[in-house]
Amino acid sequence: QVQLVESGGGLVQAGGSLRLSCAASGRSFSSYAMGWFRQQSGKEREFVAVISRSGATIYYADSVKGRFTISRDNAKNTVYLQMNSLKPEDTAVYYCAARASAVAVTPARYDYWGQGTQVTVSS
């Protein structure tokens, strides 16, 4: 089992940047594919970016491609989401998730979730 704790959210102006971190506790972090997902008010949780266990495979949602970068440091049991050129439509609660298998983009395929961190982008 793994526990996930997100940090780094906050309020930023459009065009600004934020870096989210997700610290994992438990065993064998490198055995988990990791993902960032977000949920906007009144909407379903959606895929943002995912990274494979080794970091060799990465997928981004079209809406964030070229602006967001996912990375992981298996030595630090941490996954990151660097968010640049933020837009008001990026406002959401961002969740980190882990999956004890190959990388996937569907939220339902993830086994463990953090509590979420709020990102608010003002226009």
What is the reported pLDDT for 47?
A: 97
pLDDT tens-digit series, residues 2-40: 999 999 999 999 999 999 999 999 779 999 999 999 999
State whether residue 120 is helix, strand or coil: strand
pLDDT of the residue at 61: 98
- Res 122: pLDDT: 98
DSSP string, 29-95: GGGSEEEEEEE-TTS--EEEEEE-SSS--EEE-TTTTTTEEEEEETTTTEEEEEE-S--GGG-EEEE
> What's 109's DSSP letter?
G
Q: Compute the average pLDDT of residues 69-77.
A: 96
pLDDT score, position 44: 97
